[in-house]
């Protein structure tokens, strides 16, 4: 069961890029340093998550809210202070310190301050915000005890046992757009409570914003602004002004602009670097076409290929 030494050990693991299952008031989370893309990629691998869904970032103070977001309207801060800590996640425009893998490449990030002393102490001792979905295998029951986590994720680096969670269902998720507050996922905090504390002049709606609530549903999504093509076998040559993304080091890359997401084909590294490598190619004026190597569709490779196919969908077929 929980003691302070356990939290310090867990914080050390988070700070060094590991994964820790930890209690919140809603369900147990599977946490990693939210500012470390490679650590976050391990979450997808362990959960066997089939697509890159945005992750909620857990904080212990409002200082982190300020660092992780930008352009937040000052009048919503008192509203957030009323519900935080608590089972509410707010989706706001992200700052540049949040790695794209955390947000599925979206320019928004979900922030939550858990109403659980162990969780907030873990964040404080780790010295970083913690990205965490529920600590379960994808599609299985959410865990409300350490035993549930052990059953589904026996290979997690550490489980911080805080007993049974109080709320037991995931947090309410809302977002703000101009003077409108939108419910993205229902939870224990009701629309009535939210409406009661909204700033003056704000309206509340329950319409869905698909790009945030379910980024994996669209066939074409996350696309770069330049044509992107996936290949299984490395072609002998590429058109002029091509950029190449590989997942294993080559002695002599065929094209001038080449990025390696990993030197060894490590899928955790590939996942961590996937978004940023596409961004780099998109921003490079010397590149007109992007070619990316496929990975085997098993384990974390399923999530990586799901992401790649959606990014490349609108540009088929390859020339």
pLDDT tens sequence across 22-37: 999 988 999 999 999 9
Query: Across residues 264-285, what is the average pLDDT?
Result: 87
pLDDT at 315 over 70: yes
pLDDT at 187 over 90: no
- Phi and psi, residue 306, nearest 5°: -60, -45
Q: What percent of the chain has pLDDT over 90?
A: 59
- Phi and psi, residue 164, nearest 5°: -80, 145
* Angle at the Cα of 184 from the Cα atoms of 86 and 160, rounded to 5 degrees: 40
Residue the block writes with tokens 């549903």: 217
Tokens of 228: 């992107």
| CA gap 123, 127 in Å, rounded | 6
Which residues touch 117 (CB under 8 Å, ≥6 apart)?
Answer: none
pLDDT tens sequence across 198-229: 999 999 998 765 554 433 445 665 678 899 99
Tokens of 318: 């390859």
pLDDT at 74 over 80: yes
* 23 CB-contact burial (10 Å; exposed 0-12 / middle 13-18 / buried 19+): buried
Least confident of 44-48, 170-174, 190-194, 207-211: 207-211
pTM over 0.75: yes
* 95 CB-contact burial (10 Å; exposed 0-12 / middle 13-18 / buried 19+): middle
pLDDT tens sequence across 109-147: 999 999 999 999 999 999 999 999 989 887 677 888 898
DSSP collapsed to 3 states, the chain: CCCHHHHHHHHHHHHCCCCEEECCCCCCEEEEECCCHHHHHHHHHHHCCCCCCCCEEECCCHHHHHHHECCCCHHHHHHHHHHCCCCEEEEEEECCCCCHHHHCCCCEEEEECCCCHHHHHHHHHHCCCEECCECCCCCCCCCCCHHHHHHHCCCCCEECCCCCCCCCCCCEEEEEECCEEEEEECCCCCHHHHHHHCCCCCEEECCCCHHHHCCCCCCCCCCCCCCEEEECCCCCCCCCCEEEEECECCCCCCCCEEEECCCECCHHHHHHHHHHHHHHHHHCCCCCEEEEECCCCCCHHHHHHHHHHHHHHHHCCCC
Q: What is the pLDDT of residue 219?
A: 62
- Phi and psi, residue 40, nearest 5°: -65, -35
Answer yes or no: are the C-beta atoms of 276 and 288 closer than 8 Å. no
Q: What percent of the chain has pLDDT over 70?
A: 92
Confidence of residue 153 (pLDDT cuts 50, 70, 90): very high
């Amino acid at each position: 069961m929980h003691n302070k030494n356990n939290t310090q050990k867990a914080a050390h693991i988070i700070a060094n890029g590991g994964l820790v299952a930890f209690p919140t008031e809603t369900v147990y989370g599977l946490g990693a340093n939210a500012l470390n893309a490679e650590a976050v990629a391990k979450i997808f691998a362990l959960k066997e998550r089939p697509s890159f869904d945005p992750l909620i970032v857990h904080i212990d103070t409002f200082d982190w809210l300020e660092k992780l977001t930008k352009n937040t309207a000052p009048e919503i801060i008192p509203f957030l202070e009323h519900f935080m800590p608590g089972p509410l996640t707010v989706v706001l425009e992200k700052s540049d310190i949040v790695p794209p893998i955390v947000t599925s490449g979206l320019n928004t990030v979900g922030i939550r301050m858990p109403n659980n002393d162990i969780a907030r102490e873990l964040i404080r001792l780790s010295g970083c915000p913690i990205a965490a979905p529920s600590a379960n295998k994808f599609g299985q029951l959410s865990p409300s005890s350490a035993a549930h986590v052990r059953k589904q994720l026996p290979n997690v680096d550490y489980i911080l046992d805080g007993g049974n969670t109080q709320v037991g269902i995931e947090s309410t998720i809302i977002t703000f757009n101009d003077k409108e507050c939108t419910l993205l996922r229902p939870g224990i905090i009701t629309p009535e409570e939210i409406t009661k504390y909204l700033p003056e002049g704000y309206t509340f709606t329950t319409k869905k914003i698909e790009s945030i609530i379910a980024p994996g549903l669209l066939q074409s999504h996350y696309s770069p602004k330049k044509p992107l093509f996936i290949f299984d076998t490395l072609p002998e040559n590429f058109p002029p002004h091509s950029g190449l993304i590989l997942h294993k080091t080559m002695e002599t890359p065929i094209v001038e602009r080449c990025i390696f997401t990993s030197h060894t084909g490590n899928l955790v590294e590939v996942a961590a670097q996937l978004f940023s490598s596409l961004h780099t190619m998109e921003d490079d004026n010397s590149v007109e076409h992007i070619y990316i190597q496929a990975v085997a569709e098993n384990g974390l490779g399923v999530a990586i290929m799901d992401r790649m196919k959606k990014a490349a969908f609108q540009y088929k077929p390859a020339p």
